[in-house]
Amino acid sequence: MKSAPAAGCGFPASGQSQPGGHNPNAPGSATTGRGQPRPSVRAAAGTDTAYAAAIAAFSYALVSLYWALGGHGLVSTVGGYVAQFAHREGATPMLLALAAVVAKAAGGLLALALARPWGRIIPRRGLRAVSAAASALLIVYGALNVLAAALVLSGVLHPTGRVDRTALRWHAGVWDLWFLVWGILLTLATIGSRRRAAPTGRPS
């Protein structure tokens, strides 16, 4: 007895559209047959986070530039040596502030290099290694400082000496949290860069 053709069993053949005209394995589909986003979608998300990381870096650099040029707004919310240097005269405070500007601007360029075509002139493995290291540094620095400030403000930790609670609130909610968010965005951008380099899902 001859078996019935596969098409007669009511199941669409491989590559054939399902009822309703949707084929999850079609080249133009945004998802794979298992319902997972295609690598191109994840790579696009990586590009967006690269731009977001660059915005975080450049905007933070602008704040430091404002202080380097003599601005005193919000300096009291930073506290510590930054607030002390801001009220000193001489080249040293300005040079330190300009160094912070350069470092943060370099972080913005690093994020853009992961997404823009001109970044391809840099060896990808080296670029991603530097980006991963910078991401880890930003996340660790930001997370530890946010946690420390939160513990002091909540009364869990009791440091010796005078505590500037206003500056701690700003560090927990703005300045150090800024580093943490920047690091997370740069991490996602680095992962997205790997997706673009290996659209089939294989890391390059």
CA distance 117 to 124: 12
Q: Answer with the residue of higher pLDDT: 88 or 30.
A: 88
Nearest-5° Cα angle at 79, 142 to 170:
50
Largest CA distance in the chain: 99
Indicate the pLDDT class of residue 23, thresholds 50, 70 and 90.
Answer: low
Phi, psi of 31 (to 5 degrees): -130, 160
pLDDT of residue 132: 97
Query: Which pair of structure tokens corresponds to residue 199?
Result: 């659209």
Q: Answer with the residue of higher pLDDT: 39 or 48.
A: 48
Query: Which pair of structure tokens corresponds to residue 70?
Result: 């003599």
Asked if the model's pLDDT at residue 64 lies above 90, the reply is yes
Where do the structural domains in the chain lie, given as residue ranges?
Answer: 39-197
pLDDT of residue 11: 47
Q: How many helices (H) and strands (E) does the chain have?
A: 6, 0
Q: Mean pLDDT highest for which of 30-34, 41-45, 191-195?
A: 191-195
pLDDT of residue 90: 73
Range with the poorest average pLDDT among 93-97, 101-105, 172-176, 193-197:
193-197
Asked if the model's pLDDT at residue 196 lies above 80, the reply is no
Tally the C-alpha atoms within 13 A of residue 18's C-alpha that lie toward its C-beta: 6
Indicate the pLDDT class of residue 87, thresholds 50, 70 and 90.
Answer: confident
pLDDT of residue 88: 78
Q: Where are the alpha helices (DSSP H) in the chain?
A: 39-68, 80-86, 91-113, 124-153, 165-170, 176-197
Asked if the model's pLDDT at residue 39 lies above 90, the reply is no
| Span 121-167, pLDDT tens digits | 999 999 999 999 999 999 999 999 999 999 999 999 999 888 999 99
Asked if the model's pLDDT at residue 33 lies above 70, the reply is no
Indicate the pLDDT class of residue 179, thresholds 50, 70 and 90.
Answer: very high
